[in-house]
Amino acid sequence: MEHIFAPWRIEYIRMEKKDGCIFCELPAENDDENNLILYRGKYAFVIMNNYPYNPGHVMVAPFRHVGDFDSLTAEEIKEIHQLVSLMIRAIKRAMNPDGFNIGLNIGRVAGAGVEHHIHVHIVPRWNGDTNFMPVISDTKVIPQALKETYHELKTVIGKLTSP
């Protein structure tokens, strides 16, 4: 039997679940690289998923603590969509995916892990990126370290957003 090690997952498994909100707390720490925050707009920001479904899995969230899509302001909605577009362009340049899953999980029943702060998931997909591992061994193989992905995306975002 072969073994695939994913040592970064143990941190998530052992993590004490907090009552706070990562989408409020992490931007307030002003430690973007350690918190995997890729970009800050006026109303919203982009953060990498620390426990991704695929390499390059990012989320776009408003700075304001809002759990309901209907409570977003027009400015927040506009900037969130602009950041989704920016991230699609950046991920395409940096990682060359074949497609994307993009969406919101609103409410716990819909799969929201952080249900009181709305956020958009952007998950790049590649032909053949699904295989037997999740089905047979409940294991997802992420072939690139988060910090390496962070630096690649950060570089591309800088080029896309500089005048």
Q: Which residues are catalytic?
A: 119
Strands 99-104 and 58-62: unpaired
Task: Give the Cα separation of 40 and 17 in Å (integer).
Answer: 26
Report yes or no: 71 and 62 within 8 Å, Cβ to Cβ: no
For the sheet with 58-62, list strands across it. 37-40, 44-48, 58-62, 120-125, 99-104
| CA–CA separation, 104 and 58 (whole Å) | 12
Q: What are phi and psi of 157, to 5 degrees?
A: -60, -45
61 and 44 Cβ atoms separated by less than 8 Å: yes
